[in-house]
Chain A
């Protein structure tokens, strides 16, 4: 019957698609047909493998060979050498920069070694557009188990005992949320999935939806069964077209099989899911703002209480979790709460997906057990800092989080420990910063974001953050005073205390945490009018060291505002009045005669 001897898996995540993985897939199909092997070798598009830095990724089974950075032009070689003759193409294997060796199997690559995949369990294994692929890896078995052998109470109890907490940021226990929605009175209830991943630099939810959409649908149905809801809504960003498309396909397939719709699996439980497109507003990640947006209104948050569990969508009891939270549900139902709670730490159970980005060697998506140290994530999995620069800080939680400095590198990753150092788990963005990043500038970047995204409903957030941003602007321009630093701190505390929703309550975190760990950088900007990292343009001065300058005229010829003068073979001079501090001369000088201070 099935004589397929080989599967070629091509990553179809956004990262790899952006680096042409669709063309790679097409070339495989064409090359295999050319060699008349299309009947024995199958080409599969999968979800994200996580190792985006090395994309496009191609994996070949059963040999279990992991190819990186595969260009369409490489496909012919892979087919000729590997598929036909069984010879591994060495030059496309992952090259370990530390050991100088090549690794053929992904589990030996340091990036994957300490990972543990629960939420991402099927990403990169199954074809997200084929429901049979999902069913073959125990898909919809958890829903079947719940319907056949568990009461709604038992389901809620199981989730409670597992210790699962919300993966969207705040870390509220999922079981308690379900319990509240279950107990709330109401004939009509809703299950909402928050797929409005707004934290810039975090893309784990997108990867789950692109790589394993059914796992979210199944979990929402289980939740519906548990709390007594018959309708689910997925609120997803319009910026994720691929994820929307895969969800649409998945819903249609599940309906065709009767795994969504009326009388699921012959029971009297019915559940429908529809997709609701967002329209680009960060505040809609806040659950009450999200509900308003689903109702077609401006995404402004509501005052709580009443909580969504009592009065949510269209004022009916509503349970709202984010994508990654739902992605953990089915394994818990299948393998049990005891199994799940054996992973992680005392208060933070299970695993967490992080999106590593910034100045790190291995940008990508990683899933690790709670309690893994930051050092392990940055240096073990992440492969350390790019270009051998010095680590300066790790930013977690995006615009709501804070920076973690060198001294806390051995901190285990869990909700409480991150909060104790002034940051937060957040949705899982981890941005690594090096010596060239100015912490004042980074704080300003995040605040600019919140000022832009504040919905304007409450004053502390609308005006307070703007004032803080102005102060930071002053400081990076070289006009700050020491009183400004105190003002930042006071304002920040007030905004945290007085804002209506999570956006405002966390907006000052990037500033407060950098003030706490990098006060000396703020001081340098204010007192010495200097930016130690050399990032704040207005505080920079470029000058030529006359004793080093060889008069090659390269700098003068490249200066966009012609502010460098000097004769051939003689020392040049920069007119600092006219200089726009673009840094072109600095990078062009062949003898490093231009300095920045």
Chain B
């Protein structure tokens, strides 16, 4: 560790350190976007771990502050594993199937950043909750 000699240097350390605590502050935010990755035995066998790593990598590269990736259990759609569900507060959840590394990055780029759904990868929308 070397000495911090100015406020700017302090800010730099803060930015670097933020990556390690962001997960916690984002988790506290009720408006965050949640990406649920099916991580049951079948999901992991089908490559969910690679999908999750790609999601995390893309989020950290783009420095997305309000998106968190959460592992979830089996949802029963085993034929379409690995599964990633995108939950934006106030909207219906969207579920994507057969998510490999490339598709995971596409989800971040298109859906999360640009707001465009990946129509060809959606595997049936969840029934909207009664309003």
Does A64 reach chain B (CB closer than 8 Å)?
Answer: yes
Contact A132 B13 (CB under 8 A): yes
In the bound complex, residues from chain A placing their C-beta under 8 Å from that of B10 are 135, 140-141, 144, 259, 265
Contact A3 B57 (CB under 8 A): yes
Which of B7, B11, B24, B56 contacts A5, CB < 8 Å? Answer: B56
The B1-51 residues at the A interface (CB cut-off 8 A) are 1, 3-7, 10-11, 13-14, 16-28, 30, 32, 34, 36-41, 44
Find the residue from A84, A136, A265 having the highest chain B CB count within 10 A. Answer: A136
In the bound complex, residues from chain B placing their C-beta under 8 Å from that of A61 are 23-24, 26-27, 68
Which of B6, B21, B40, B68 contacts A137, CB < 8 Å? Answer: B21
Among listed B69-77, B99-107, B110-118, interface-contacting one: B69-77
In the bound complex, residues from chain B placing their C-beta under 8 Å from that of A148 are 7
Which of A4, A40, A86, A144 contacts B73, CB < 8 Å? Answer: A86
Contact A132 B17 (CB under 8 A): yes
Contact B17 A258 (CB under 8 A): no
Contact A85 B40 (CB under 8 A): yes
Contact A85 B4 (CB under 8 A): no
Contact A265 B6 (CB under 8 A): yes
Does A497 reach chain B (CB closer than 8 Å)?
Answer: no
Please name the residue on chain B nearest to A256 by beta carbon. Answer: B1
At the interface, is chain B mostly helix, strand, loop or mixed? helix
Does A370 reach chain B (CB closer than 8 Å)?
Answer: no
The contact size tier of chain A is 35 or more
Does B52 reach chain A (CB closer than 8 Å)?
Answer: yes
Which of A2, A63, A83, A138 contacts B14, CB < 8 Å? Answer: A138
A266 to B19 alpha-carbon distance, docked (Å): 26
Contact A64 B21 (CB under 8 A): no
Please name the residue on chain B nearest to A258 by beta carbon. Answer: B3
Which of B14, B26, B44, B72 contacts A141, CB < 8 Å? Answer: B14
Find the residue from B10, B18, B21, B34 having the highest chain A CB count within 10 A. Answer: B21
Knowing A83-B71, A133-B17, A135-B14, the reply to whether A259 touches B24 (Cβ < 8 A) is no
User: Least Cβ distance of B7 to chain A in Å?
Assistant: 4
In the bound complex, residues from chain B placing their C-beta under 8 Å from that of A85 are 39-41, 71, 73-74
A5 to B7 alpha-carbon distance, docked (Å): 30
User: Least Cβ distance of A75 to chain B in Å?
Assistant: 17
User: Least Cβ distance of B73 to chain A in Å?
Assistant: 4
The A237-258 residues at the B interface (CB cut-off 8 A) are 253, 256-258
Contact B52 A133 (CB under 8 A): no
Count residues on chain B whose CB falls below 8 Å from chain A CBs. 45
Contact B71 A258 (CB under 8 A): no
A137 to B60 alpha-carbon distance, docked (Å): 18
In the bound complex, residues from chain A placing their C-beta under 8 Å from that of B32 are 62
A9 to B7 alpha-carbon distance, docked (Å): 30
Contact B1 A144 (CB under 8 A): no
A137 to B15 alpha-carbon distance, docked (Å): 10
Does A483 reach chain B (CB closer than 8 Å)?
Answer: no
Which of A7, A86, A126, A140 contacts B71, CB < 8 Å? Answer: A86
Knowing A86-B37, A141-B10, the reply to whether A62 touches B70 (Cβ < 8 A) is yes
The A371-415 residues at the B interface (CB cut-off 8 A) are none
Contact A87 B73 (CB under 8 A): yes
Which of B17, B25, B41, B70 contacts A63, CB < 8 Å? Answer: B70
Contact A136 B70 (CB under 8 A): no
A1 to B62 alpha-carbon distance, docked (Å): 12
Knowing A86-B72, A133-B21, A259-B4, the reply to whether A64 touches B28 (Cβ < 8 A) is yes
Does A6 reach chain B (CB closer than 8 Å)?
Answer: yes
Knowing A135-B10, A256-B1, the reply to whether A3 touches B18 (Cβ < 8 A) is no
User: Least Cβ distance of B48 to chain A in Å?
Assistant: 10
Contact B73 A1 (CB under 8 A): no
Knowing A3-B57, A7-B23, the reply to whether A136 touches B4 (Cβ < 8 A) is no
The B64-121 residues at the A interface (CB cut-off 8 A) are 68-74
Find the residue from A9, A141, A266 having the highest chain B CB count within 10 A. Answer: A266
Contact A9 B24 (CB under 8 A): yes
A259 to B7 alpha-carbon distance, docked (Å): 10
Please name the residue on chain B nearest to A60 by beta carbon. Answer: B27
Does A125 reach chain B (CB closer than 8 Å)?
Answer: yes
Knowing A84-B39, A86-B39, A133-B21, the reply to whether A265 touches B7 (Cβ < 8 A) is yes
A42 to B19 alpha-carbon distance, docked (Å): 13
In the bound complex, residues from chain B placing their C-beta under 8 Å from that of A144 are 7, 10
Contact A3 B60 (CB under 8 A): yes
User: Least Cβ distance of A262 to chain B in Å?
Assistant: 10
User: Least Cβ distance of A575 to chain B in Å?
Assistant: 64
A545 to B30 alpha-carbon distance, docked (Å): 61
Interface 1/0 per residue, A110-145 and B, CB below 8 Å: 000000000000000110000011011111110011
A1 to B13 alpha-carbon distance, docked (Å): 16
User: Least Cβ distance of B6 to chain A in Å?
Assistant: 5
Knowing A63-B70, A64-B28, A141-B10, the reply to whether A257 touches B4 (Cβ < 8 A) is yes
Find the residue from B10, B22, B39 having the highest chain A CB count within 10 A. Answer: B10
In the bound complex, residues from chain A placing their C-beta under 8 Å from that of B36 are 86
User: Least Cβ distance of B30 to chain A in Å?
Assistant: 8
A597 to B128 alpha-carbon distance, docked (Å): 64
In the bound complex, residues from chain A placing their C-beta under 8 Å from that of B26 are 61-62
Please name the residue on chain B nearest to A106 by beta carbon. Answer: B28
Contact A258 B5 (CB under 8 A): yes
Contact A266 B60 (CB under 8 A): no
In the bound complex, residues from chain A placing their C-beta under 8 Å from that of B18 are 136
Please name the residue on chain B nearest to A147 by beta carbon. Answer: B7
In the bound complex, residues from chain B placing their C-beta under 8 Å from that of A107 are 28, 30
Known: A5-B52, A86-B72, A132-B20. 17 other contacts (CB 8 A): A4-B23, A4-B56, A5-B23, A7-B24, A61-B26, A62-B70, A64-B28, A84-B71, A86-B39, A86-B71, A133-B20, A133-B21, A135-B14, A136-B17, A144-B10, A258-B4, A259-B4
12 A-B pairs with CB atoms under 8 Å apart are A2-B20, A3-B53, A62-B69, A64-B27, A85-B74, A86-B73, A132-B16, A136-B14, A256-B3, A257-B3, A257-B4, A265-B10
Closest 6 CB pairs of A and B: A258-B3, A62-B68, A86-B71, A136-B17, A61-B27, A86-B72
Chain A residues within CB distance 8 Å of chain B: 1-7, 9, 40, 42, 61-64, 82-87, 107, 125-126, 132-133, 135-141, 144-145, 147-148, 253, 256-259, 265-266
